Structure 1
């Protein structure tokens, strides 16, 4: 391809010089020949003899003829070379034109740089970018760095970033179009740069991400709308950014939603004035719990128990606070009724006692009236306890319905976190995941407290080796301690104890969580002390300590002590209340000692036991399998909730699994043959529709197969009867909401045959 501005080929120059030399030589020979002829024809006596001159002229003529023939041959060669040169020029011009046409036909922007990375050529698509932006087009010879600097300075490039899965950089141009830059070196050391329009791809990705975030938000709202409490989130500007249906119904005025409104617009001035001191307290970083009366839109008086929990960002700044409001009007009325009953009883006793001194004949009547009053008092107290217990049992009973949509939202969010998005979308996904964690912790804690109060959870006390339990907990919290800049020391023990391993692990985890939460520098120690017939499990910390007069209060519900110098957190103050209830259920003594300014030690005393031969469940070793690939495993998922099926499918396919989902055994049979199709693991929900359960469905499948498939049974039922039944069947039991890390570890163990 010729270079613009140079029309002659380097090959033509030597031929032309040779032609000029031959023509000059020919002219010189002609002059010699003419001079000889003149001398021969003249009769000058001073010249040679005519014959000699003639002979000499003949020799010269022969030489001239030879030179003339050589010149003619050279002329012929020159003409042939000129024709070849002309054809070469025409072919080069044709190739150049074809190259220009090919470059112009490219839908992408095209730029060609030489080996010094200076601009040589570009197509009209590339030049159109500059025209749309009203920017001057870089001139030929401009360096590639100058072209980029000019694009940024002129406003042609609005935004630029690199994406992990793309081959080059991605730019947002001033005409709102996205282009991807791809560089390819040429054989001569130059550079070809293509600018591909990927606007449709970017818009499609953004729409898909927005749909996923909207689905997650919808599931969060479904979960909170089914909670019999008022839940909201208030931003730092005191505007309501989220609320559930119960909150919107109570505080919606004239049918308008309180979303987006400031608290002083949602609440009447008098109520807002009473709330303001508590709002300022939570914005200072402290948890707040208080109660007082307020009136609804229709004037109905209700007594509300409020809890405000601050929300901190990654830098530790308060960006808002969570609101949890419970209607305790019935409980309050019951308490007032009890007080009135006690007052009435005391008054009647005094009256009857005074009457006894005047008339002993009325003694029997007074005793009967007193017994009747005591009976009414017992009835009132029993009614109050029954009302409180019924509410507790309601929360415990609806745990499955609460955890079902939360489980689906967790699966979808976990699948989204494993995808590659832009920085903005990934930040939104992480925010949704953090919100799910907060909702899950809040609901899980409330449900656990309710189940403990209602007696739904019963201990499964067995003898087991303490070593595995302590090793797993230490491994789990060591990473958390490192993330907080702390050191977790651990003293192992192989003692055999009598307890419920899961409930005891819950006590130790709450101890360690509190230790890490309130310790800013230093270390945390997990260890044991042997006694005669028991072993004491202890957690030591180097935090700010707890005042001596507050040591008993920390085990009460919603009671949190903020030690001097300790950083604020967003806990509800229920962790140690759960520890107190579990320890009473197990019959384990829990104690705490502390020195302000030096630290605290929490202890639980567990009796020693004797190990009996038994099959250990695979749950004790789940942590070791984390991070292993699933290698295209074939997994069947049976769950009556299609949202959970879709979320589980998305999550498992992200782990390179081949997934088939069904809402029942009949649905699975319409998709494949359960007796013949290969399967590695079956995931089944225990509660299915039409009074069916996952145990029966899996049993029907495995009864048809030559070799039974491994089973993971998933449920929100925490009863010991179901746990024992699943264990006897040889299945692995996992409770909702399912943790993706634990699920992946369990699948790794089952696929490796452990």
Structure 2
């Protein structure tokens, strides 16, 4: 064999897998053998020298290799020394970890990511000796669980097999964290807490919680005992009798009140008695309503999903019991009995009282109906009396006024003329009082008719301005009535009466300054306002002034009127459903505000013909919104022939006396028949007819004028009446007749006659 000559000679001479010490020894033995071989061989041709040189070269290589091996050996020794130190540290750490694990009070075990047991302490598996003997590093978790499930020291839950327990345990093992209790033989309990480690393994802690669970169980039993005693005390102190049944319909509890209500023998109520047995015993003393007994037994037989049930039963014919059955969550049920005898007796008593009360109420209702009918008859009688009295009073009053007017036409001295004037003023006051009384009576009795229509406000305001301007001037006051082009929905007659009273009241109680009447738009309404600069009204008297016969008298000044004006205003506004407001400040005057519904009339800016031409406030002819001025009493009237039809002799005589003082030729009769006969006899048709509305023989003035016109053509005519209803005014307007209120005002009468004078 030929030795190699390159750097691999060392690898050829030694085995690299051998330890460095063994390689170094082998190389030293080879070097020594080679040196001996060189020394023993001598060759004259120089072969020995060549071998010697080779031997030297080989020695140098061996020496270098030896040096490297020595260095490597030194490094290896150092590494081994460090490795030993590390191994010692690891052993110490392992020992410390083992000591720490052993020091833990709970059982501890560590499984790696492949679910292999790595380590555990002495307390792990405590209480299960067979499992302790099977524990070893490398044991799989599934084998560990399987061994536990088959261990005789494990107390499986009722109805659960070892395989099912094992499956449940493995499912919890797959959770990131779990905690549960495991029951062992001998009523011992272990709490298992399992945690996932960062590298995918799992750490298990086992804690003996036997004492804790036993203490908790004892505490629970004590609480249950306390709760049972509390429930028993509660049941024994409530007013209902209660019996409790379990899901099988067996009696499990009752209270003292049940014995008091049902009075069973002592041996009847026992734990475990079935509902059927108890029901059969108690049914002998119970009288159920028809069908109630079947409802209860069917309800108990259903066993599940039973709705609450309420029944009523008579016990031994003495007491009435309210029975209420209620299902419990565990399918058991509770039946309660409540004594409602007193309530039922009270209800029966109330029913009997109601029956007698109904009879009494019916009797009282009939009595009240009779009283109401009597009151209505009395009210109607009063209304008829007031109307009749007013008519009867107005007749002589009208005659007196006409006689006084005739006196003023005579050539009298100043003394008698003044007396006649004062008498006329007194009669005028009486006329106002009678008119107010008649209005109040009509409004209170509900007989005031309302005829609503749409009309311009100017139709009311303009005549009122002309009517009250003289009265205001006589008191030294300024009366300003602002014109208004708006239309309203109201009764013009009642509205005119309201504004008349408000304006008259303002003028009456104002000493100086002015009275302002105007209108303002307020949303969908129109507000008519009457302001004065009078003394004002104190706050405590603002309701009083709307009462009948109430006046705000002031020291040093005589009272005027009788206090009916504002009472009429309030009643009329209520009748028309118009809002009435009072604004006043003592010493600064007062304002009455009346809000009416505004009518949306096209062309409202232009007043209709009705607003410009119509009848005056007295029923006379109006032209251009102004009542024709009164002509002189004796100018032009001597050519007139007037027919007067009046069934009151004194009034007829007074009227003819006044007309004759104006040089008017008169035919005066008492009835329609007399009028037709007289005119037929003289063969002359009158120029104007003045006819009373209420005539004899069931006829009225409208019928009389219709008969006269039918025979003599359409002559000017007027109805005279104390009847001031809107219906009569409307009938006169429809027939083209003028209307004169009684007492007849001489000035209005003269205006009517002047309008009837033939032209030329």
Q: TM-score, normalised by structure 2?
A: 0.49
User: Larger radius of gyration, structure 1 or 2?
Assistant: 2
Q: TM-score, normalised by structure 1?
A: 0.49
